[in-house]
Every structure is written in structure tokens, then in C-alpha cells.
Amino acid sequence: MSVQRRPLWILIASVVFLIFFSARVLAQKGFGFPITHYKLKNGLAVILSEDYSLPLVSVVVTYNVGSINEQPGKTGLAYLMENLMFSGSANVSQLQHINFINRVGGRLNAIASEDKTVFYQTVPSNQLALVLWLESDRMKFLEIIETNFEQARGALLDESRQRKIGEPYFESLFSFDQLLYSEFAYSHPLLGTEEDLRNLSLDDVKNFYATYYIPNNAVLCITGHFNKQKAKELVLRYFDTIARGKEVMSSSEPLVYTKRQIVKNVEDTLAQAPAFHLGFRIAPPHTNDFYTLVILDYILLRGHSSRITRRLLNRDNKIAYQLSGGIEKRGDRAVYKIFGVANNLLMVDRCQNAIFAELAKLKTSFISDVELAKFKNILKGDFLKRWATNLDKALFLSEEYFWLKNLDTVFLEVEKYLNVTPTDIVGIANRYFTPENSVILNVKTK
């Protein structure tokens, strides 16, 4: 029996239709999960999303603060505060927060980054009140005392020293950031400097906490198995009496870059092979250009079939043996980073030439519909993965809220990526991925 093959254009049209149809259904039906969001009178943003598939609930509290909010001479405060939030309060002793969660079979963690500090827990659904009490307690009654402060500072100094003496290319990464970001707020290390950490005072930490760990600078997100009305009552009971803090002023300045290529060299005593950092300053998150830049990221570096990955890590002609990178967001700034390790300096040059050659192709010729559809499909799959668990969903909704301020259109965001055209890609590649907009830091062995 013979099989009739469909013309290629029909296959392409089918793939494109499925991607856009899925995105439209996602936008119209809300992916099957309800989302409620509102604010308390003290400014705390609250997001609720029920899912009764498992008897679990996830609670995420995100504070809009990170290292970009630190001042010169006061670096390391955000990372330090993440640890001090477990140091106890007027009602909870040191590390008892962790013990409470572990005792009921829950899991918890925290993340400090350049622009956010996140605390999250997943517990059996009948323990929601416990988590809300613990989170509200440290938002209102955290005790920052000399003993706990010195202990946390010592641990941070030790971590910083261990990473410096144990991680190749660690120091070069911070040198690269200082070249790539022009402002202090974005270019200093999240861990802070040893000198700054030693000079921090207890009052510095208390002032940082009082300024940023306030309800009107936070988002509380609850996802999973809970009754919405009951959850609202619990949120009101535990968080409504926390006083509103002073409005947090944006620390960012208008984005001004002088477009000129920067090329520097550094030596790394820990490195066993030469490497390079390559970066481009790109459009801020959630701007029109940014959606195309995300698609470009998939084309260039996401997965084994991406263009730069294929070019540098090709099994038959491998010119690098380590490659990573992608879009990095820090507040209202975004950059595109590529890091590679090669066998020798000649191979480092070949890697960089190959990258610019791949970028040149994107500037001068349109990507095929088939290839573009493939990467859009991967992006859509990644978007769906962000809803895989209650915790994934809570982290995603919290992050999106800080950008959108309103989650009514959150499902429409994926369409903005899927609407990117080959013409858009050519235009954006020519706008941002140019030699004069590049920063290169070559890392030599010593």
C-alpha cells in the first residue's frame, strides 16, 4: 500500500497553526487554573490559584529587593538578609521556621538574586495557616541581633572565600559584569565584597530590612489545594495588621550606553584552560524588542539544535568543550551573555569568530519557517513547564506580577513570543548583536 506524502508547505502550516492555536486556547481558557489577585490595605499583593489535583499547597513570598538596591560600601546586604530571615523573631526561635516546616513533612527554600528575594514552602494543604503565620511573623517581628548578624556574616565571608579559591572563572565573571553594566547597582557581586561585608553594621542590616521587607514591597502567592474564601480570611488575619512601609523608590537611572566594542584580558590562576565571556546589552524585559530577543536566544543557544551550540560543540569539529549563556535580567536591565571554554587561545579566537559568523547569518538572511516553528514550539513547552507543579506556578505568577502588575493578561504573554516573524529577527539581530555593542573578556591561564 502506498503512502501519499503531503507537500512541505502543508506540514509547515500545520506546525505553525498548532503552536498559535495552543497559545490562543491558553490565553482564552487560562490553562484551566483560576487566578485571583488583589491587594491588602497595607499594599501587600496577594495571588491565589487553586488546584485540587494533590493535597498540597505552595506559598511563595517575594520581596522586590536584591543586590541592585545596595549602595556603594554596603554590598552583600541582600544575600545576608536572606539568611537572617531564618534567624528568628519575637515568636519563633532561630531556625525554628525550618523545623516547623520539616516537622509537617514540608519543603522550603529561599533565593536571593540581583533583583528579587524569594521564600517558598510546599506543605500538606491542612498546614496553610502555619506557613502564613510564619511568613507574616518574620515580615513583622524579625529579630536582628548582634549574635545572629555576626554568625550570618561569618558564613557569608566563608562562602565567598571558598568560591574564590575553589571555582575557576569565578572572579572573571565579576570583572565581566563591571565591563558589561555601566552602573554600580548592576555590576557588583551578589555576595558583596569582603571589605564591605566586614564594614557592615547591625544598623545597616536593620535599615535594609525596614526599608525593603515590607508588605507594600512584597507579593504573596498561594497555589494548590485550598478553599479560596478560607485562604483570604487567613491572609487577612496574619498580614493585614502589618504596617505599610515607606514607598520604595526606584534606584535605576535611564539606560545610557556608549556603543563601542570593549575587549579586555585577565588571568585566572585556577583555570586549567582559556575561556571567554562575550556579552551584548539588549532591550529591557517586556519591551517589544525583548520578545524577539527571547526567540533569538532559543535560536542561538537553547538546546542541542541551536545554532551556536551546533557550531561550537559539533561532534565532528568541536572547537569548545564548555558553552553556556542566554538572557540575563537584573531589574530593568537585560544583557545577553555567552561563556565558553576552549583548549587554547587559538580555539578561543575560533569560537568568537564562529559566534559572530552565526550572528551575521541572522542579520542577512531570513530564518526558515520550519526552524522558527521548531524553536517556538520549544519555547511553548518551556512555558507550560512553568505550570508543572504548584510551586512552579507560584514562582512564575509572582515573577510575572512584578513586571505586569496585573495578571489578567499573563496568558497573552506567550502569544507575543509566538507572533515574532523572520523579519523581526533580522531587524533585532542588526540592532543589538553588533561588534560595536559587544563586550569581550578573554580569560587566560596563569
Indicate the pTM of the whole model: 0.89
For residue 259, the model assigns a pLDDT of: 75
The DSSP line for 115-175 is S-EEEEEEEEGGGHHHHHHHHHHHHHHB---HHHHHHHHHHHHHHHHHHHHH-TTHHHHHH
Helices (H), 52-127: 77-84, 96-103
Question: In order of start, what are the domains of the chain with their CATH numbers?
Answer: 32-239 (3.30.830.10), 262-445 (3.30.830.10)
Strands in 133-287 per DSSP E:
218-224, 262-268, 275-282
What is the rounded (10 degree) CA torsion for 51, 397, 118, 376?
110
Residue with cell 542590616: 205
SS3 content of the chain, % helix, strand, coil (to 5): 50, 20, 30
pLDDT at 86: 94
Which residues are 340's β-sheet partners? 276, 323
- pLDDT in the model for residue 255: 63
pLDDT at 117: 97
Give the number of residues written for the chain.
446
The Cα–Cα gap between 406 and 324 comes to 33
In this prediction, residue 256 carries a pLDDT of 62
Dihedral sign (CA 387, 388, 391, 396): negative
Expressed in angstroms, the distance from the first to the final Cα of the chain is 67
Q: Can you give the pLDDT at residue 32?
A: 62
Question: Residue 403's pLDDT is what?
Answer: 85
322 vs 166, 223, 284, CA distance in Å? 18, 38, 28
Residue with cell 505568577: 397
**Using CA atoms, how far apart are residues 326 and 21, in angstroms rounded to an integer?**
28
Intervals of the chain under pLDDT 50: 1-30
300: Cα separation from own chain's centroid: 19
Alpha helices (H) along 287-421: 288-301, 307-313, 345-364, 369-385, 390-404, 413-418
Residue 49 and residue 36 in contact, taking contact as beta carbons nearer than 8 Å: yes
Q: Within 13 A of 38's CA, how many CA atoms are on the CB side?
A: 10
Sort 427 into a burial class: Cβ within 10 Å, 0-12 / 13-18 / 19+: middle
Tell me the residue type at 320: A
C-alpha closest to that of 319 among 269, 353, 357, 272: 353
Measured from the Cβ of residue 97, the count of other Cβ atoms closer than 10 Å reads 23
Q: Look at residue 333 and give its three-state secondary structure.
A: strand
